[in-house]
Amino acid sequence: MKILQGSETRIMSSNNGFQPAAVQLCYENINGSCIQTPYSLGPQIILYMAFGSGAVLAVFGNFLVMISIFHFKQLHSPANFLIASLACADFLVGATVMPFSMVRSVESCWYFGESYCKVHCYFDGSFCYSSIFHLCFISIDRYIAVTDPLIYPTKVTLNVSLVCITVSWLLAITYVFSILSIGVNDDGLEELVSALKCVGGCQTAMNQTWSLVGFLLFFIPTLVMVILYFKIFLIAKQQARRIENTSSKGESSSSDSYKARVSKRERKAAKTLGIAVIAFVISWFPYFVETIIDAFLGFITPTYIYEILVWFAYYYNSAMNPLIYAFFYPWFRRAVKLIVTGKVFRGHTSTIDLFSEQAKASNGRS
**Domains observed in the chain:** 40-350 (1.20.1070.10)
The beta-carbon contacts of 168-175 under 8 Å, at least 24 apart in sequence, are 168/85, 168/89, 168/130, 168/133, 168/134, 168/137, 169/85, 169/89, 169/130, 171/129, 171/133, 172/125, 172/126, 172/127, 172/128, 172/129, 172/130, 172/132, 172/133, 173/126, 173/130, 175/125, 175/129, 175/217
What's the confidence (pLDDT) of residue 285? Answer: 84
- pLDDT-derived band of residue 122, with 50, 70 and 90 as boundaries? very high
- pLDDT-derived band of residue 272, with 50, 70 and 90 as boundaries? low
Containing 36, the helix (H) or strand (E) segment is strand 35-36
326 vs 323, which has greater pLDDT?
323
**For the chain, percent of residues with pLDDT exceeding 90:** 27
What's the confidence (pLDDT) of residue 282? Answer: 81
- Taking 50 as the threshold, does the pLDDT of residue 62 lie above it? yes
What's the confidence (pLDDT) of residue 111? Answer: 92
What's the confidence (pLDDT) of residue 127? Answer: 93
- Taking 70 as the threshold, does the pLDDT of residue 117 lie above it? yes
Strand, coil or helix: 33: strand
- pLDDT-derived band of residue 330, with 50, 70 and 90 as boundaries? confident
Lowest-confidence region among 13-17, 52-56, 217-221, 265-269:
13-17
Q: Alpha carbon 219 to chain centroid distance?
A: 15
- Taking 60 as the threshold, does the pLDDT of residue 19 lie above it? no
185 vs 331, which has greater pLDDT?
331
- pLDDT-derived band of residue 242, with 50, 70 and 90 as boundaries? low
**151-164 tens-digit pLDDT:** 888 999 999 999 99
